[in-house]
């Protein structure tokens, strides 16, 4: 690999070809460490503070390595940014002819078969005329697009219901039996990925493929020399999701819908099939009605305490057995009916396994309820062993990078969770001048977060600080409930005190639209929850204050956390110090990272949780944050904010 100094220096290739590029010692050192890991086929875990320029630090050695690289990011938005902007920029600067491909999950690509069926069906009832308009737009787009990626059609919202009718799932894809197989957008995307030097995927896709061998990566991995995970702090949660199993009543309802559609076309004369789908549909509804609380998570034991839940689950299983048996007799009539039969068996087996594993010590069985569906989940207690097997499967470099992986520069919590027992680790601090650019403020006089009226106390404490910062604030909440409550109280307070700062709330619009609005207004206050804790970049004066309502400890009532705490306790270990606290620190670092995004930014990080000062573990938390000056004096905060624009 060529000398990286000639790339990253003040007069190097990046500086000569990229406007506003500034050399950073941390970036060069990180690139050198990654180049070494790629060359030696090592496992490397790296943390790089905000402003290091970690994207270029891994892209340059990856592009210069000459091998095949899979680059996995946290979100599809980051995927698009890397594919459309960052990689082409670095490739042009380095003047090397590497080929790149973007690969997403099949639900992101229009399916010609399902689009045609939807256009010709008399049995699909659309919720509104808008859905019909969207369908016509999708039809035109499918006829002209070279890739069929739904992100290229911005006139149809990503969450529009019509997409489920015109995309395929792993279960209802006909594969090589599809009449449109030669024009399939998913297959074309896979072919491009197979021949490319750099393939950009996201974590969900990577793990879906590793576990399900479904999305085309299983063919890519053997030929791959390097895997790079950006936003690697998200991996433990994503891995837990895919190393387990889940089945939702929504999937069963889609099976019922698809079976009815196929039966109307190919088995109209077989009435028992329609009776069976109606019975499954009713059983799904009856099961959903047994748990009245929505948007909640509970263990299998808690769910079983709801009157009628266990009986309703058993009835659903029995009705699925009947449906699967009837589908087997009709499967010879069409590929679609055979597909429905196989799906019915898969869904039935997952529900059975969920019930059978509910006593297991290796898995956590739990239920999540939504407004329209209910999901059975089986999550492994630990992903370490399963993931470490992936690392050992063949010789290649594995690079993990994020701004938040360590606790006081100690990576043991992360490495233990992911099974990275032999990994090398490296840490680079942010090049920003945090002691002068930022102030950490923990107000005094606030009660313990578990006391009544804590939220009202927060709003009283933040009002003078919001006034001093002239709006320009993010309020990051640890739950949707807190978010709604704080937003409502602020509305009242702003009216009472005649404050004219625009007040934005997560969910009012899509995240990107809210962010654009926030930037353009220049004096807004945005109240958000999980969506705004990470992956948000607001540079300049539009954001001068980040307020965090409380330390982000996960609820001990959560069934997955509760089971993992129990495991630590059984092993005679301290679950709080070894698991809950490190987890909270990494989350807090993500939220705090929204404040200073540029060397000219200045602002206040206000953490409204007295435990940061009053508890022995508080020191470990603030020592893991960037080295800001700390204060409890409100007057010092107001003076600092007065000088933010100077």
* Model pLDDT, residue 500: 92
Average pLDDT over residues 21-34: 96
Cα(644)–Cα(603) distance, integer angstroms: 7
Q: Tell me the C-alpha distance between 354 and 377, whole Å.
A: 7
Least confident of 36-40, 281-285, 494-498, 552-556: 552-556
Exposure letters 512-539 (e unless 16+ CB within 10 A, then b): eebbeebeebebbbbbbbbebbbbbebe
Residue 282's pLDDT is: 96
In the structure, what pLDDT confidence band is assigned to residue 160 with cuts at 50, 70 and 90?
confident
Question: In this structure, are residues 583 and 417 in contact, taking their beta carbons and an 8 Å threshold?
Answer: no
Instruction: Give me the helix-helix angle, 384-392 and 235-243, nearest 10°.
Output: 100
Compute φ and ψ for 645, nearest 5 degrees: -85, -5
CA 605, CA 603: separation in Å to the nearest integer? 7
Taking Cα atoms as reference points, which of 420, 70, 100 lies closest to residue 227? 70
Burial of 389 (0-12, 13-18, 19+ CB in 10 A): exposed
Identify the band that residue 604 occupies on the pLDDT scale cut at 50, 70 and 90: very high
**What's the predicted TM-score (pTM) here?**
0.89
pLDDT band at 270 (very low <50, low <70, confident <90, very high): very high
CB 327 within 8 A of CB 272: no
User: What residues does 425 pair with on adjacent strands?
Assistant: 45
What pLDDT score was predicted for residue 364?
94
Report residue 575's pLDDT band, with 50, 70 and 90 as the boundaries: very high
Partners of 71 in the β-ladder: 200, 228
pLDDT at 211 over 70: no
Q: Rounded mean pLDDT of 156-162?
A: 83
CA-to-CA distance for 250 and 580, rounded, in angstroms? 32
C-alpha triplet 265, 270, 273: angle, nearest 5°:
90
Integer Cα distance of 422 and 431 in angstroms:
29
Q: Are 139 and 110 in contact (CB under 8 A)?
A: no
Question: Can you tell me the distance from the alpha carbon of 283 to that of 347, in angstroms, rounded to the nearest whole number?
Answer: 14
Q: Which residues fall within 8 angstroms of residue 334, CB to CB, at 6 or more apart?
A: 262, 265, 266
Q: Are strands 363-369 and 374-380 parallel, antiparallel or unpaired?
A: antiparallel
| Alpha carbons 122 and 117: distance in angstroms, whole number | 10
Torsions phi, psi of 276, nearest 5? -65, -40
Mean pLDDT of 120-138: 81
Nearest one of 589, 599, 330, 555 to 440, comparing CA atoms: 589
Question: Stretch 280-300: mean pLDDT, rounded?
Answer: 93
How confident is the model at residue 242, as a pLDDT? Answer: 85
What is the reported pLDDT for 170? 78
3-state SS track over 68-89: CEEEEECCHHHHHHHHHHHHHH
From residue 477, alpha-carbon distances to 85, 110, 149 in Å are 32, 36, 33
Q: Does the pLDDT value for residue 307 go beyond 70?
A: yes
Q: Are 110 and 138 in contact (CB under 8 A)?
A: yes
What number is the average pLDDT over the span 247-259?
A: 93
C-alpha to C-alpha distance for 81 and 448, rounded to whole angstroms: 42
The yes-or-no verdict on residue 295 having pLDDT over 60 is: yes
Q: Which of 435, 426, 479 is nearest to 625 (CA)?
A: 435
Looking at residue 61, its pLDDT comes to 97
For helices 129-144 and 112-120, the axis angle rounded to 10 degrees is 140
The Cα–Cα gap between 457 and 585 comes to 24
Quote the CA–CA distance of 619 and 632 in Å, as a whole number. Answer: 15
All structural domains of the chain? 5-105+187-241+385-428 (3.40.50.300), 243-380 (1.20.120), 434-642 (3.40.50.300)
Count of positions (residues) in the chain = 646
**pLDDT over 60 at 308, yes or no:** yes
Question: What number of CA atoms fall less than 13 Å from residue 280's CA on the CB side?
Answer: 29
Q: Quick one: how many helices (H) and strands (E) in the chain?
A: 30, 18
pLDDT value at position 212?
A: 59
Beta carbons within 10 angstroms of residue 554's beta carbon: 17
The CA distance from 198 to 86, in Å, is: 12
Neighbour tally for 95: CB within 10 Å: 8
Decide if pLDDT at 206 tops 60: yes
pLDDT, residue 283, reads 97
Looking at residue 20, its pLDDT comes to: 86
Asked if the model's pLDDT at residue 570 lies above 70, the reply is: yes
SS3 581: helix
**H/E segment holding residue 116:** helix 112-120
**C-alpha 436 chain-centroid distance:** 33
> Which of 24, 25, 35, 33 is CA-nearest to residue 60?
35
Q: Give yes or no for residue 630 having a pLDDT over 60.
A: yes
For residues 316 and 294, give the distance between their C-alpha atoms in angstroms, rounded to a whole number: 20
Mean pLDDT of 591-618: 94
Comparing 213 with 184, which gets the higher pLDDT? 184
Distance CA 104, CA 98 (A): 20
Kindly report, residue by residue over 351-375, the tens digit of the pLDDT.
999 999 988 888 999 999 998 899 9
Residues 6+ apart with CB under 8 A from 581: 407, 617, 620, 621
Q: Which pLDDT score is estimated for 336?
A: 87
């Amino acid at each position: 690999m060529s000398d990286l100094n000639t790339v990253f220096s003040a007069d190097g290739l990046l500086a000569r070809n990229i406007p506003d590029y500034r050399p950073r010692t941390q970036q060069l050192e990180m690139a050198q460490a990654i180049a070494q890991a790629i060359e030696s086929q090592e496992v490397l875990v790296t943390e790089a503070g905000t402003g290091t320029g970690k994207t270029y630090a891994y892209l340059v050695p990856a592009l210069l390595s000459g091998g095949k690289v899979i680059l996995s990011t946290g979100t599809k938005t980051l995927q698009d940014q890397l594919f459309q902007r960052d990689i082409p920029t670095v490739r042009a600067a380095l003047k090397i002819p590497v080929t790149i491909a973007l690969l997403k999950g099949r639900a992101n690509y229009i399916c010609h078969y399902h689009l045609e069926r939807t256009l010709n069906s008399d049995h699909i009832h659309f919720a509104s005329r808008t859905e019909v308009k969207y369908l016509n737009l999708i039809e035109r787009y499918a006829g002209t697009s070279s890739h069929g990626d739904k992100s290229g059609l911005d006139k149809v919202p990503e969450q529009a219901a019509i997409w489920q009718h015109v995309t395929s799932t792993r279960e209802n894809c006909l594969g090589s039996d599809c009449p449109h197989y030669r024009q399939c957008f998913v297959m074309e995307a896979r072919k491009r990925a197979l021949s490319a030097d750099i393939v950009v995927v996201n974590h969900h896709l990577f793990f879906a493929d590793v576990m399900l061998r479904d999305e085309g990566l299983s063919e890519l991995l053997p030929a791959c020399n390097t895997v790079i995970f950006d936003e690697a702090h998200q991996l433990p949660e994503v891995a837990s999701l895919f190393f387990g199993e889940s089945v939702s009543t929504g999937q069963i309802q889609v099976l019922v819908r698809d079976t009815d559609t196929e039966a109307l076309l190919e088995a109209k004369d077989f009435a028992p099939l329609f009776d069976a789908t109606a019975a499954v549909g009713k059983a799904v509804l009856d099961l959903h009605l047994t748990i009245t609380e929505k948007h909640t998570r509970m263990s299998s034991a808690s769910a079983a305490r709801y009157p009628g839940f266990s009986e309703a689950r058993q009835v659903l299983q029995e009705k699925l057995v009947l449906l699967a048996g009837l589908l087997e007799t009709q499967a010879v009539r069409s590929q679609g009916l055979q597909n429905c039969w196989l799906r019915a068996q898969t869904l039935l087996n997952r529900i059975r396994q969920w019930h059978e594993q509910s006593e297991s010590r290796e898995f956590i069985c739990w239920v999540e309820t939504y407004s329209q569906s209910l999901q059975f989940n089986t999550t492994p207690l630990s992903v370490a062993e399963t993931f470490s097997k992936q690392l050992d499967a063949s010789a290649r470099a594995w690079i993990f990078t994020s701004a938040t992986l360590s606790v006081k520069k100690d990576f043991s919590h992360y490495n233990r969770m992911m099974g990275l027992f032999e990994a090398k680790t490296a840490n680079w601090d942010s090049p920003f001048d945090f002691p002068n650019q930022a102030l950490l403020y923990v107000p005094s006089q606030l009660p313990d977060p578990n006391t009544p009226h804590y939220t009202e106390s927060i709003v009283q404490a933040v009002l003078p600080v919001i006034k001093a910062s002239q709006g320009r604030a993010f309020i990051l909440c640890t739950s949707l409930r807190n978010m709604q409550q704080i937003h409502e109280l602020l509305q009242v307070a702003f009216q009472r005190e005649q404050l004219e700062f625009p007040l934005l709330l997560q969910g009012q619009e899509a995240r990107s639209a809210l962010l654009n609005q926030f930037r353009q207004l220049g004096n807004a206050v945005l109240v958000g929850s999980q969506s705004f804790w990470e992956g948000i970049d607001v540079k300049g004066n539009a954001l001068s204050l980040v307020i965090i309502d409380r330390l982000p400890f996960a609820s001990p009532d959560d069934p997955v956390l509760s089971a993992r705490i129990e495991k630590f306790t059984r092993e005679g270990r301290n679950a709080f110090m070894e698991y809950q606290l490190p987890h909270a620190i990494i989350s807090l670092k993500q939220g705090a990272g929204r404040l200073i995004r540029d060397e000219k930014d200045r602002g206040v990080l206000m953490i409204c949780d007295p435990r940061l000062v009053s508890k022995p573990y508080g020191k470990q938390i603030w020592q893991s944050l960037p080295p800001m000056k700390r204060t409890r004096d409100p007057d010092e905060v107001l003076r600092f904010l007065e000088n933010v624009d100077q």
